[in-house]
Each structure stands twice: as C-alpha cells, then as structure tokens.
Structure 1
Amino acid sequence: MTAAPEICIAAIDPGLTGAICFFFPALSDRVSVEDMPVVNGEVDVSILARRIRQLAPTFIVVEQVGPMPRDGCRQAFGLGTAYAAAKATVTLCTVPLHLVTPQVWKRHHRLIGADDPKEAGRALALRLFPASAEHFARKKDHNRSDAALIAAYAAAAITSGRAE
C-alpha cells in the first residue's frame, strides 16, 4: 500500500512587492514564504518558475487583482504586468491554477472591516504559522502574510471543495 502524495499549496500575492508562499497542510504551523523575485523592475519569471519546479506544488492559487481607483497609471500597469507574469509562469509550469479575489480570501479570514487590514493579516499569519514567525516579523512583511493567508484559505476552501 503506497502513501498518498503530500499536498503542497503555493500561493502568490502578485506585484513587484508581492510574495510566494509554499504550504504543506501536513505541517500546518509553518510555511515557506519568499518575496516576489524581481529584476530590473519586473517579475523574474525564470526564478519564479525555478522555485515552482523545485517545490512541485499540487496546485497554485494566485490572487486575482485589478486596478484600484486611486492607483496611478504606472502603478496599475506594473501590478497588471506582475499579475500576468505570475499567471503565465504558473501555466507554463503546468501546475493547476486557481484564482481568488482579495475579497473572498479576506472574508474567509475575517479581515474585511479591520481598522488596519494589513497589520491584522500579519498578526493572523503570526498566530497561524508560529514556526515561521521570522517571515512576518516586520510591518512591511504584509505581502508575505497575504501570500500565506491565501495558501491557508486554499487549504481550507479549495481542498474541501468549498471554494467560491
């Protein structure tokens, strides 16, 4: 009798200041989180693809982002380019891709309506993943915590078939 393969969920918070998280639900108190690889002001798809292939996730969840009314043209273009690069890289790595909007995963974690949603998300990541607290130690690590929380959402919702 062979053991079932271990599930690895990767989650990407796209953007040049975004992050990628690898989460093994069997080790639920820890995650591996890295800042988005960037070179010359663009996502380094070569390094991103290498990391995806090294850890061979079962599936990848990418936050489905769009421009915000307050974003300037340059910021919106940069975010859109990074989002497209993340999606294309996942597709070329032939890993199943799921998209999730910020509203869905934030509602799942009850972060909508928080006084400081970024800090609330970072605090939640610290509680959920105490063995990986060093990844979320600084206030500016909120993008890492977002990637980790997207992975936790995926573990709870997608693997159970309850994804929205």
Structure 2
Amino acid sequence: MILGIDPGLSGCLVVLEPNMAYLRHLHMPTMKLASKNRVNGAALAAFLREHPVRHAYLEHVGAMPGGGERKMGAASAFSFGHSAGGVEMALQVLGIPYTLVTPQVWKKRAGLQGKEKDAARARAIQLYPGVRDLDLKGKGQALADAMLIARYGSGA
C-alpha cells in the first residue's frame, strides 16, 4: 500500500492500494497542548500501524515567512514546521520508508497547471468520485492533495 501525506495541522493522510484504489484516509489528528494545536502522535501512529504501508510520500514544503503573496507569520511557520516534523518522525519511528516530494513535482505529474488551488480537488473528484469527503471545501482540498501525492508515488 502507498501512503500520501499532506502535512500540517489541517493536512491529511491517504492510503491507496497498489492498483491505486482508494482505501482509507485520516484528516490530520490534532490535540490541544496548552493553548496550541499539535499533531496527535498517538492517533497518527495508530492509523499508520493499521495499514501495511510499503512506502510513504510526504509533501516537502517549507514555511513561507515574510513577504510575498503567500505570507506566513512566524507563529504559523513554526506550527507548520512542528506538524510536518512530527509526521516525519512518526514515519521514522515506525520504520516506514518515505520520500519527500515538492508540490511542483507531484502537481506536474497530476497534470495540474497554473495556480488554481481547487484544481487538485477537481482532479481527485474525477479519479475518486465515490469519496464524499472530497466535497468538503477545506478538508476536501487536503484529502485531494494527499491522494494525488500518493498517486505520484505509485507512478500514475
């Protein structure tokens, strides 16, 4: 089985069978720690242990602090890095081999052009019309990204 991961607190994990059939997904499990949300490592590990994942593909993105159109504040950048690092650590601890893949690379393989944010969700709905969570605007986007990242890993 192949695992695709859109990291971050609002991310998602998707397990696809070797024939690229959708099996299951998990919206990033979180918990409150003091006043901050953090990835729930125990829930994440429990999900990963349930599936004999052969290889994981994790979106390799960096924080975008400072200027530009996708500006991210320092606290958000730290939170994102903390989440992505927690996911990567869970894969390492469980001995799941993984590959980091940039958004530009997996999106090109998926045939996504331009900067249309909803393009990934539209493509995933075409490929997996029965997965109703894709209809959710925010969570559906994270699910779509994780699906397409997993498909990238399968060579599709």
Q: What TM-score do you get using the length of structure 2 for normalisation?
A: 0.88
What is the alpha-carbon root mean square deviation over aligned residues? Answer: 1.4
Fraction of identical pairs, as percent: 33
CA distance in 2, matches of 1:76, 1:152: 27
Q: Deviations over 1:103-153 (max 9, x none)?
A: 110111122414x22x11101001111232x12012211011100110011
Q: What TM-score do you get using the length of structure 1 for normalisation?
A: 0.84
The SS at the match of 1:87 is: helix
The SS at the match of 2:5 is: strand
Aligned to 1:11, which of 1, 4, 10?
4
- Asked if the contact 2:15/2:22 (under 8 Å) is kept, the reply is no
Match of 1:161 in 2: none
Q: Deviations over 1:5-30 (max 9, x none)?
A: xxx0011110000000000032x343
Match of 1:57 in 2: 53
Normalized per residue, the structure richer in helix is 1
CA distance in 2, matches of 1:62, 1:105: 10
**Any gaps of 5 or more consecutive residues in structure 2?**
66-70
**Any gaps of 5 or more consecutive residues in structure 1?**
1-7, 158-164
1:32 to 2:33 alignment: no
User: Is the deviation greater in 14-23 or in 101-110?
Assistant: 101-110
1:121 to 2:117 alignment: no
The SS at the match of 1:55 is: coil
Q: How many residues align?
A: 146
The SS at the match of 2:81 is: helix
- Asked if the contact 1:9/1:154 (under 8 Å) is kept, the reply is yes
Q: Which runs of 4+ in 1 moved over 2 A?
A: 28-31
Match of 1:151 in 2: 150
What is the identity, as a one-letter code, of the residue corresponding to 1:95?
A: I
The SS at the match of 2:99 is: strand
What is the identity, as a one-letter code, of the residue corresponding to 1:35?
A: H
